[in-house]
Structure 1
Amino acid sequence: MLVTGAAGLLGRAVLDLLSARDVAATALVLSDPGDLPADRVVVGDAGDPEVVRKGLDGVDAIVHLAAIPAPNLATPVEVFGGNTRATFVALTEAAQAGITRAVIASSMSVLGLAWAQQPLRPAYLPIDEELPLQVTDPYALSKQTDEAIGTMVWRRYGMTVTAIRFPFLGGPERLAHRVELHTSTPEGGAAELWTYLHTDDAAAACLLGVTNAPPGSHVVFVAAPETLAPYETEALLDEFHPGVPRRRRFPGRMVPMILEAGERVLGFKAERLWPVEVLPRG
């Protein structure tokens, strides 16, 4: 299996999982850190067809994670152009090489809420894969385009592509810090609805995408079933998303997101839930 962006937070988790399951892995990275648990490391840009062809040699599936992960980490042209080029090259080269299954990392940021210059609210709650997008930044636009590339590749080449919309990812240190932030300034998590997923669960979702997903082009949300904020979800929504229509109640810290597509397409359910004590709001 080829893993692009293999030296990143999620890429390393995917390699660890593949290693634990004795699945041969090729890592594609911009520079080799020297400690990746991969059978083979290919150094280069995922947007370079020759580099990707080298990485695809002998593999049977691809998990494409290479990207600039935020709109403020490079110029808008570099973020949008680099991300979408890498996805187009990785998927089309894989399809032309005869590979039939791929996973790509999308993001909750595709909704447009996370990096909006003015606060935005979803059209309804809980959010699902049909929620209208409100894209205003180059990173969200790149993820919207990545998902469209996946659909095009399925239609043109018949390669099954699953785009997984990930929330905030982290292991113990990152999750513990995130809880502290959501406790002191919960407004900071409103754009992402205080969602999260343990990095190991995210890696498991990637593997399920290349083993379980039925033929087709798929877009799915994955997340833990509860938020990472220490307040009841209804109270948070009353305060930070007032007036947004709610199609169900959210008892306790229930995440305001529909998770059924991830369960149906991937067979995925989060297993590593971070313990959070519920506090009164106000």
Structure 2
Amino acid sequence: MRRVLVTGAGGRIGRAVLDLLAAQGTEAVALEREDPGGLPAARVVEGDAADPVAVREALAGADAVVHLAAIPTPEHLPAGTVFAVNTQATFTVLEQAGLAGVRRACVASSLAADGLAFAASDPHPAYLPVDAFAPSWCEDPYALSKQVDELTAHTMARRHGMGVVALRLPYVGGFEERLNAFAARCAADPGLHARGYWAYLETRDAARACVLALSVEGPGARVVCVCAPETLVPQPTEALVRRYHPDAELRAPLPGRTVPVDLSAARDVLGFTAEHVLTLGADKAIYRK
């Protein structure tokens, strides 16, 4: 890769992707609605990821794309806005990338694409460990937008002969900035994150997964679940599953704090294993590693 376009470059994962590309000596172009300043990119283009003109300008000379721009939750904006903004941006970025001859792209999806995380009802997974093929319980606009984003990835892969990886990401953050506090809350009340499978990913690992996705060879679209191999709570996973998802079919053992997410595609397709993890101290509290 000579130049990578990163959309949503000013966000938590976007900045980490820019840092990683810079460390690897790969030039990056950042696309943001407003330049926040201080982005480690060769060029910053101000514009909307749903605007074909702005995207075409940002794509000049790029041979890969990491698309992260999105509304990350359905909780603060009207449902139609969440769905329209997310899906239009993904369609526009991948369509313009394909027309520009770009053949490698990474798109941020979410573990919430299965519909559990933000559902108003009380759905549960059909089976665990969960994977990208699990039945959908989607009833919120964010989950629906991520499902459509994954379908868009498949469509653009066929339409343009692209290789597109959609990463189903969990709760992402830095240890001091986000993860430690959330882990403490969930340790006290595991039900808070039961619909997110008690999964997490440190920001640097999320960025590394995005960049590894650009190295996947050949055309076609793949949906890959990515998270740390263990949960962010001290309770044994199988006990948590029996308590919070008692009717889910258990398709593989979940010893200790094993995360109930199938990470085989992350390993086999991306060659990815999380490096920055939470570990238990002698008093069963969770510490960063």
| Shorter-chain TM-score tier | over 0.9
Letter in 1 for 2:55: V
Contact in 1 for aligned 2:113/2:143 (Cα 8 Å) = yes
| Alignment coverage as a number of residue pairs | 280
Q: Match of 1:246?
A: 250
In the TM superposition, residue 78 of structure 1 has moved relative to its aligned partner by: 1.0
CA-to-aligned-CA distance 1:53-85 (integer Å, 9 cap, x gap): 000001110000000000012111110001000
Q: Match of 2:230?
A: 226
Taking structure 1 as reference, are residues 111 and 213 closer, same or farther at Cα in structure 2, changes over 3 Å only?
farther
SS, match of residue 30 in structure 2? strand
TM-score after normalising by structure 1:
0.97
In the TM superposition, residue 213 of structure 1 has moved relative to its aligned partner by: 4.4
What is the root-mean-square deviation of aligned Cα atoms in Å? Answer: 1.2
SS, match of residue 58 in structure 1? coil
Asked if 1:45 is matched to 2:48, the reply is yes
- Superposition map of 1:2-21 within 5 A: 2-21=5-24
Q: Match of 2:271?
A: 267
SS, match of residue 46 in structure 1? coil
- Rounded to whole Å, the distance in 2 between the matches of 1:242 and 1:175 is 27
- Rounded to whole Å, the distance in 1 between the matches of 2:182 and 2:24 is 30
More moved, 264-273 vs 43-52: 264-273
CA-to-aligned-CA distance 1:165-184 (integer Å, 9 cap, x gap): 00010111211011111111
In the TM superposition, residue 214 of structure 1 has moved relative to its aligned partner by: 3.9
Contact in 1 for aligned 2:106/2:166 (Cα 8 Å) = yes
The answer for unaligned runs of 5 or more in structure 2 is: none
In the TM superposition, residue 234 of structure 1 has moved relative to its aligned partner by: 1.2
Q: Match of 2:156?
A: 153
Asked if 1:207 is matched to 2:211, the reply is yes
Contact in 2 for aligned 1:231/1:279 (Cα 8 Å) = no
Contact in 2 for aligned 1:107/1:164 (Cα 8 Å) = yes
- Rounded to whole Å, the distance in 2 between the matches of 1:36 and 1:222 is 25
Letter in 1 for 2:247: G
- Rounded to whole Å, the distance in 1 between the matches of 2:79 and 2:158 is 29
- Rounded to whole Å, the distance in 2 between the matches of 1:181 and 1:21 is 36
CA-to-aligned-CA distance 1:204-237 (integer Å, 9 cap, x gap): 0110111134431100001111000111111111
- Rounded to whole Å, the distance in 1 between the matches of 2:49 and 2:76 is 18
- Rounded to whole Å, the distance in 2 between the matches of 1:9 and 1:157 is 30
Asked if 1:28 is matched to 2:27, the reply is no
- Rounded to whole Å, the distance in 1 between the matches of 2:201 and 2:263 is 12
Q: Match of 1:144?
A: 147
Greater percentage in strand = 2
Asked if 1:121 is matched to 2:124, the reply is yes
- Superposition map of 1:163-182 within 5 A: 163-173=166-176, 174-182=178-186
In the TM superposition, residue 132 of structure 1 has moved relative to its aligned partner by: 0.8
- Rounded to whole Å, the distance in 2 between the matches of 1:196 and 1:47 is 28
Q: Match of 1:96?
A: 99
SS, match of residue 275 in structure 1? strand
Contact in 1 for aligned 2:126/2:247 (Cα 8 Å) = no
Question: What is the aligned-residue identity percentage?
Answer: 50
Letter in 1 for 2:188: S
The answer for unaligned runs of 5 or more in structure 1 is: none
TM-score after normalising by structure 2:
0.94
CA-to-aligned-CA distance 1:115-150 (integer Å, 9 cap, x gap): 000221000111112111111000000000000000
Counterpart of 2:135 (choices 132, 138, 145) is 132
Letter in 2 for 1:8: G
Letter in 1 for 2:70: A
SS, match of residue 214 in structure 2? helix
- Rounded to whole Å, the distance in 2 between the matches of 1:42 and 1:75 is 27
- Rounded to whole Å, the distance in 2 between the matches of 1:241 and 1:214 is 38
In the TM superposition, residue 276 of structure 1 has moved relative to its aligned partner by: 2.9
CA-to-aligned-CA distance 1:71-122 (integer Å, 9 cap, x gap): 0121111100010000000000000000000000000110100000022100
- Rounded to whole Å, the distance in 2 between the matches of 1:212 and 1:44 is 28
Letter in 1 for 2:46: V
Q: Match of 1:70?
A: 73
- Rounded to whole Å, the distance in 2 between the matches of 1:13 and 1:279 is 30
